[in-house]
Amino acid sequence: MPQLISLIVPCYNESSAIDLFVATVTPILDAIADTSWEVIYVDDGSRDDTLEKLIALTQKMPSSRVVELSRNFGKEAALTVGLDVSQGDAVIPIDIDLQDPPELIADMVAAWREGAEIVNARRVDRMSDSLLKRKTASGFYKIHNALSRIKIPENVGDFRLMDRCVVNALKSLPERQRFMKGLFAWVGFRTVTIDYTRMTRSAGSSKFSAFSLFNLAMEGFTSFSSAPLRIWTLIGGCGAFAAMIYGFLILLRTLILGNSVPGYPSLFVAIIFFGSVQLISVGLLGEYIGRIYMEAKCRPIYIIRKMHGMQNGCDPEREPEI
């Protein structure tokens, strides 16, 4: 029997990229022997005509399905939707902008058939990204892996192949604030890595602003480590010890030289510095409390408005998981 491979394609305002993606991916998938395919497009609340184009695509390509979300839930939720509704023996998330080369899929499938349960695609050349993005990404991986016991492979994005056993493990995780790169690493399993060069976008522009990337980084730091809290405890202890030493030196100076009246700049700087440290530590504590608050409400990760193409290769008895 041919093995079923599920391709998960999150889409948010990607109307200009759809036609080229389909034209590029289809012959590559058809060329891989002994496989059948389903391509799951997750429309994450697009505001252009992305959804209309995807629905039309399901009429022309029986292997295509579209999951329409009720609003924009974010890429992490869109990936979760794809994992939940996929039925393949292996699952491959891929961006529609073709920065991750579909030509690599054949190599991924070959490695999977040789026994790998996760096949990571690692970007060895990111010159298509800006210098700032490359440096901040490198800094994130280094800081995260220094703080957490769960090591995220550097320069490995969402583009990877996962065996069904890996997908089932990910679906069993109940958390709602999801950092998918960390979850992919957390579940473990036998992993191999394939290197590739990252290309420029085929169309459109990135939907991640600097603020969005900062929020994603904070999700990564707070999802898999409590080390930041311990670091601020250490900073507080070091600050208190330094204050005690400084106080002892002032007392010693007063006993020897008498009580002089120093200026106020040093006092002002000290108050501002320690006040800022306190605000930062309170903000960090708030990040963890906020995660507890969001998890305690137990809201669904996503809401499906409608599924299109159910008659084309999808089991109608299977209800999508929320």
Residues 126, 267: one domain? Answer: no
Residues 13, 34: one domain? Answer: yes
What confidence score (pLDDT) does residue 312 get? 41
Residues 257, 124: one domain? Answer: no
Q: Classify residue 291: in a domain, yes or no.
A: yes
68 Cβ contact partners less than 8 Å away, ≥ 6 residues apart: 43, 51, 304, 305, 306, 307, 308
Q: What average pLDDT does the chain have?
A: 77
pTM for the model: 0.69
* 24-73 tens-digit pLDDT: 888 888 888 788 888 999 998 888 888 888 888 888 888 888 998 988 88
Residues 280, 304: one domain? Answer: no
| DSSP codes, 161-227 | EEEHHHHHHHHT---SS--HHHHHHHT---EEEEEEEPPPPSSS--S--HHHHHHHHHHHHHHS--H
Residues 154, 10: one domain? Answer: yes
Say which CATH number the domain at 304 has. Answer: 3.90.550.10
* 158-177 tens-digit pLDDT: 888 999 989 999 888 888 77
Percentage of residues in the chain with pLDDT exceeding 70?
71
Please, are residues 11 and 54 in contact by the beta-carbon 8 Å criterion? yes
The CA distances from residue 296 to 17, 85, 182, 219, 246, in Å, are 38, 25, 21, 17, 44
What confidence score (pLDDT) does residue 219 get? 64
Examine the pLDDT at 231 and tell me if it is beyond 60.
yes
Structural domain boundaries, residue 36: 3-208+300-308
Nearest-angstrom CA–CA distance, 253 and 260: 9
Residues 283, 259: one domain? Answer: yes
233 Cβ contact partners less than 8 Å away, ≥ 6 residues apart: none
Residues 170, 153: one domain? Answer: yes
Of the candidate ranges 22-26, 41-45, 104-108, 257-261, the one whose mean pLDDT is the lowest: 257-261
Examine the pLDDT at 206 and tell me if it is beyond 60.
no
Examine the pLDDT at 226 and tell me if it is beyond 80.
no
Residues 146, 268: one domain? Answer: no
Examine the pLDDT at 222 and tell me if it is beyond 70.
no
Please, are residues 17 and 203 in contact by the beta-carbon 8 Å criterion? yes
Counting the structural domains of the chain, the total is 2
Q: Classify residue 240: in a domain, yes or no.
A: yes
Residues 293, 304: one domain? Answer: no
The residue whose two tokens read 């590559």 is 28
